[in-house]
């Protein structure tokens, strides 16, 4: 087993109790020590970038899990979004061998399931997403400015000698903001509607029950889709707010939301079962209109 | 969107017929700007697919002047807008668009595609092969594979 495999094994062994340590710093330190002992080439640097970010995926996932246990659901949501974004990059950039060794697909699947559980009541799942006018972008590798396609030979989303290429938005301006079901940036989840805070906006009973039943953060489980009640009111609705103004937003959106009957008194109608692939079974209250 | 509308957009942007023909003949793929919020703009997903095609050695052109803006969208639709593809590279571009949308669906299963696809041959004969498509990736890929097989 080479030293890089040792680091992979260290990432795989990370547990909730390790979160007390500065895990990100330890991971970077370990990788730097390893890099100081080998001959560096572009492929190797790219591989190290992937392993470092696989480590971040695991750490972010454990942090999200711990936050859900502590009922910090909104903050956990942000960590799970980070896990989703980083995992999707790793699925494109990392070798299949390391993807399997580090269980990236498994972590991504469980994270997405947890996200589903956090916002189980889809009728209240609304994102407030901005539309932005960008004058130019800059290549994060070489700093070249461009309007549409970078002509420096670096392409956003690719790795160059252990550096991830991004097109960084230059001069920008918010030109509007909308409520959407499927936003570009998932962190913009609406966290308070008409004074109802996030922890009361959604029902976390079933998620809390799941947490009690899981023996480890990476234990597999699944939702019985036959029992989940689907939102019958379509998959997307958005309300354009132009110009962007918080006061107008508050007035208009709340009115629209009221019209759309988002604020009905939801009554639990079904007692359901969430199945795991092990012996875990529990009851959960699902909400429907 | 018909080809006449593309000509109209070019005229509004101060691009005359011969300049438009030159853009059409010197590129494999042309992306057409959209009229949004009272200005002509390309959306980020159009830039993103342009970069993707460019990485794969497809020459991408834009119908624009300095006033055409770039808008980062608020929703997660893959809005490719109107895309004019040269018949010579049609099968290759269709495959690339298909793999681009496949990558997108890996990140989000519910992603929707919005596009119009027009083909153009060396004699400037125009054919609208997909008109105002708005739907999921699976149906889109079925549609464009049929174009590729024609």
A17 touches chain B (CB under 8 A): no
Return the CA Rg of chain A: 22
Residue B71: count of CB within 10 angstroms of its CB: 22
Which pLDDT band holds residue A155 (cuts at 50, 70, 90)? Answer: confident
pLDDT above 80 for A105: yes
Whether ipTM exceeds 0.95 = no
pLDDT higher than threshold 70 for residue B5: yes
How is residue B142 written in tokens?
């079925």
Q: Are A150 and B51 an interchain contact pair (Cβ–Cβ within 8 Å)?
A: yes
Q: Determine the residue among A148, A167, A235, A242 to mutate to test chain B binding: the one whose Cβ has the most chain B Cβ atoms within 10 Å.
A: A148
A70–B contact, CB cutoff 8 A: no
* CB B119, CB B129: distance < 8 Å: yes
Tell me, yes or no, if the pTM score tops 0.90: no
Residues of A in contact with B54 (CB under 8 A): 149, 155
pLDDT digits (tens, 9 = 90+) for A32-91: 888 888 888 888 899 999 999 999 999 999 999 999 999 999 999 999 999 999 998 999
pLDDT tens figures, B27-51: 999 999 999 888 999 999 999 999 9
- Kindly state whether A187 is in contact with chain B, defined as any CB-CB distance less than 8 angstroms: no
Altogether, the residues listed in chain A come to a count of: 289
Q: Parallel, antiparallel, or unpaired: how do β-strands B34-36 and B39-43 relate? A: antiparallel
CB contact A148 to B (< 8 Å): yes
């Amino acid at each position: 087993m080479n030293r890089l495999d040792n680091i992979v094994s260290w990432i795989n062994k990370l547990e909730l109790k390790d979160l007390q340590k500065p895990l990100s710093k330890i991971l970077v330190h370990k990788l730097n020590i390893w890099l100081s002992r080998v001959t560096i080439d572009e492929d190797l640097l790219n591989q190290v970038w992937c392993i470092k970010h696989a480590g971040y995926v695991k750490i972010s996932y454990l942090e999200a899990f711990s936050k859900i246990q502590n009922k910090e659901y909104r903050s956990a949501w942000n960590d799970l979004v980070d896990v989703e974004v980083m995992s999707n990059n790793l699925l494109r950039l990392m070798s299949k061998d390391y993807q399997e060794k580090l269980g990236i697909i498994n972590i991504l699947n469980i994270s997405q399931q947890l996200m589903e559980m956090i916002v189980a009541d889809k009728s209240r799942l609304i994102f407030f997403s901005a539309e932005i006018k960008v004058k130019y972008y800059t290549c994060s590798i070489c700093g070249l400015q461009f309007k549409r396609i970078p002509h420096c030979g670096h392409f956003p989303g690719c790795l160059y000698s252990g550096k991830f290429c991004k097109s960084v938005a230059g001069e920008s301006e918010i030109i509007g903001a909308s409520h959407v079901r499927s936003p570009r940036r998932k962190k913009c989840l609406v966290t308070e509607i008409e004074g109802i805070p996030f922890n009361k906006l959604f029902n976390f009973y079933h998620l809390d029950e799941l947490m009690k039943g899981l023996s480890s953060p990476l234990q597999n489980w699944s939702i019985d889709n036959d029992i989940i009640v689907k939102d019958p009111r379509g998959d997307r609705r958005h309300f354009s707010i132009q110009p962007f103004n918080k006061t107008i937003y508050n007035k208009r959106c709340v009115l629209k939301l009221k019209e759309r009957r988002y604020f009905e008194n939801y009554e639990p109608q079904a007692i359901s079962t969430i199945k795991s692939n092990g012996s875990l079974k529990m009851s959960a209250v699902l909400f429907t209109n | 969107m018909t080809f006449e509308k593309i000509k109209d957009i070019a005229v509004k942007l101060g691009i005359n017929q011969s300049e438009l023909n030159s853009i059409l003949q010197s590129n494999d793929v042309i992306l057409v700007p959209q009229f949004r919020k009272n200005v002509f703009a390309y959306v980020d997903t159009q830039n993103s697919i342009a970069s993707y095609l460019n990485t794969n050695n497809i020459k991408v052109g834009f119908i624009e002047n300095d006033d055409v803006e770039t808008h980062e969208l608020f929703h997660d639709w893959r809005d490719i807008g109107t895309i004019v593809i040269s018949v010579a590279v049609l099968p290759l571009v269709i495959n690339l668009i298909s793999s681009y949308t496949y990558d997108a669906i890996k990140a989000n299963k519910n992603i929707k595609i919005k596009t119009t696809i027009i083909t153009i041959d060396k004699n400037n004969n125009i054919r609208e092969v997909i008109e105002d498509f708005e739907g999921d990736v699976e149906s889109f890929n079925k549609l464009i594979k049929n174009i590729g097989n024609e």
